Amino acid sequence: MAALLEGKVAVVTGAGRGIGRAFALALAAEGCRVAVADVDIAGAEATVNEIASRGGTAASSQVDVTERGSVANLMRLVVDRWTGLDMLVNDAGVFPRATVVDMDETLWDRVIDVNLKGTFLCSQAAARILIAQGRGGRIVNMVSRAAYTAYPRGAHYAASKAGIVGFTRSLASELGSYRITVNAIAPGTVNTAMPRAGGVTDEQLFASGRAFPLGRIAEPEDIVPALLFLCGNGGEYMTGQVLHVNGGSFMP
């Protein structure tokens, strides 16, 4: 049987570890050529090596999603190498915990810059390429349950993710006529480095999942089917939406 995404070209930011890494592996397994983009080049190279060892095609690229020039360079490398682009996954994100009272302005700016501005810069660069190619495309953003519910020590993060929800809907309405869909995935808690920030122990992390209807936090691979749905043929008529993949921990 032909792979789901044979011959397509994908850019996945934040693919050096965590959920982005799982996304890059899954897209490559479905036949995509994947640009594994991360500010952490060692992480990106490790993901590329893993894809190659499984027979897939990938290339690493060091990118800082907050820098327009760095993003432009990433997109240029991808188009030069694989002569086009089909999908962008805006996965890169940060979540350094702090209360509003203690938060300094630099921390606020960093979270908004990486999560929200990074999503804007990468989406804008990708959208220009996708529109010029004229063959449609997919953009998938990463939001969070935090965009919808209170997140103590995470007001900056919650604001950035709620901003991405608004951005997703607006961009979807602008790009629909080009057959470019724009959607978001909202995980609950996923077993990566991110939810361990601010001294959260493994014990606390796994215990939090036991209260979820499905009884556990997610593994990165639990988020993959939503991405493959949005990027595959089944996602063709879906845009401006948020898919909640959270074990029932939040029900909108």
Ligand X SMILES: NC(=O)c1ccc[n+]([C@@H]2O[C@H](COP(=O)([O-])OP(=O)(O)OC[C@H]3O[C@@H](n4cnc5c(N)ncnc54)[C@H](O)[C@@H]3O)[C@@H](O)[C@H]2O)c1
Report the interface residues with ligand X, using CB under 6 A: 13-14, 16-20, 38-40, 43, 63-66, 91-95, 114, 118, 142, 144, 187, 189-190, 192-195
Cβ-based nearer residue to ligand X, 56 or 93: 93
Cβ-based nearer residue to ligand X, 37 or 129: 37
> How many CB atoms lie under 10 A from the CB of residue 29?
18
Distance, in Å, from the CA atom of 242 to the CA atom of 221, rounded to the nearest integer, reads 18
Catalytic residue among 148, 157, 178, 237: 157
Do residues 4 and 32 touch, judged by C-beta distance below 8 A?
no
Q: Is 157 a catalytic residue?
A: yes
CA 74, 75, 76, 78 dihedral sign is positive
Q: Which two tokens stand for residue 246?
A: 């959270």
Cβ-based nearer residue to ligand X, 22 or 32: 22
> How many CB atoms lie under 10 A from the CB of residue 139?
27
Residue with tokens 């959208």: 127
User: How is residue 190 annotated by DSSP?
Assistant: B
- Residue 44, classed as helix, strand or coil, is helix
Q: Which residue is at the shortest CB distance from ligand X?
A: 18
In whole angstroms, the minimum distance from the beta carbon of 55 to ligand X comes to 24
Query: Torsions phi, psi of 61, nearest 5?
Result: -150, 130
Cβ-based nearer residue to ligand X, 187 or 235: 187
Cβ-based nearer residue to ligand X, 144 or 183: 144
Distance, in Å, from the CA atom of 23 to the CA atom of 19, rounded to the nearest integer, reads 6
In whole angstroms, the minimum distance from the beta carbon of 175 to ligand X comes to 21
In whole angstroms, the minimum distance from the beta carbon of 2 to ligand X comes to 29
In whole angstroms, the minimum distance from the beta carbon of 63 to ligand X comes to 5
In whole angstroms, the minimum distance from the beta carbon of 134 to ligand X comes to 29
Distance, in Å, from the CA atom of 159 to the CA atom of 102, rounded to the nearest integer, reads 16
In 3D space, the residue among 10, 8, 21, 49 whose CA is nearest the CA of residue 224 turns out to be 21
Which helix (H) or strand (E) is 181 found in, with range? Answer: strand 180-187
Residues belonging to the active site? 157
